[in-house]
């Protein structure tokens, strides 16, 4: 049963337990992996998944730019994860989760564009 004191609190002062943040984060990433490659044919290339973000903006960057773009995309996700897991209020957690879903949607789109050209 929900805690009555948490229900009465406004949205800005409520917090989210770390366990729920981790579950939501993992589910979002797994959904993105399966949306990119539902049949599992390209699972050996999963290390290239962050390059889908670069491919969404410019397919040339993802295909030819090399380690700099790859490290930049991974860094973008790591910085986002740092802010997401350090968020203390419900509204900031929801906002950062929304940003994650937008990033992963762009990433899936970029990955699918890269996979369909090969």
81-117 tens-digit pLDDT? 999 999 999 999 999 999 999 999 988 888 887 776 6
Query: What's the rounded Cα separation, in Å, for the pair 97 and 89?
Result: 12
Long-range contacts at 92-99 (CB < 8 A, ≥ 24 apart): 93/16, 93/21, 97/24, 97/25, 97/28
Give the start-to-end residue ranges of the domains of the chain. 17-38+57-116
Cβ-based neighbour number of residue 7 at 10 Å:
8
pLDDT exceeds 70 at position 68: yes
**pLDDT higher for 61 or 77?**
77
pLDDT at 47: 77
The per-residue b/e assignment along 59-73, b for 16 or more CB within 10 angstroms, e otherwise, is eebbeeeeeebbeeb
Average pLDDT, rounded, for the chain = 83
Q: What pLDDT score was predicted for residue 118?
A: 52
Kindly report which listed range (9-18, 20-29, 32-41, 103-112) carries the lowest average pLDDT score.
9-18
> pLDDT confidence of 12, banded at 50, 70, 90?
low
User: CA-to-CA distance for 92 and 83, rounded, in angstroms?
Assistant: 9
Check whether 60 has a pLDDT greater than 80: no
User: What distance, in Å, lies between the first and last C-alpha atoms of the chain?
Assistant: 52
State pTM to two decimals: 0.78
């Amino acid at each position: 049963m929900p805690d009555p004191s948490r229900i009465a609190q406004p949205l800005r002062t409520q917090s989210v337990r770390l366990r729920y943040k981790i579950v939501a984060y993992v589910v979002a990433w797994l959904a993105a992996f399966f949306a990119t490659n539902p049949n599992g044919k390209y699972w050996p290339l999963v290390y290239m998944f962050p390059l889908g973000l670069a491919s969404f903006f410019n397919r040339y960057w993802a295909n030819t730019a090399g380690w700099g773009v790859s490290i930049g995309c991974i860094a973008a996700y790591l910085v986002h994860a740092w802010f997401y897991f350090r968020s203390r209020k419900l509204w900031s957690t929801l906002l950062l989760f929304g940003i994650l879903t937008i990033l992963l949607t762009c990433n899936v789109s970029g990955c699918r564009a890269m996979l369909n050209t090969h």
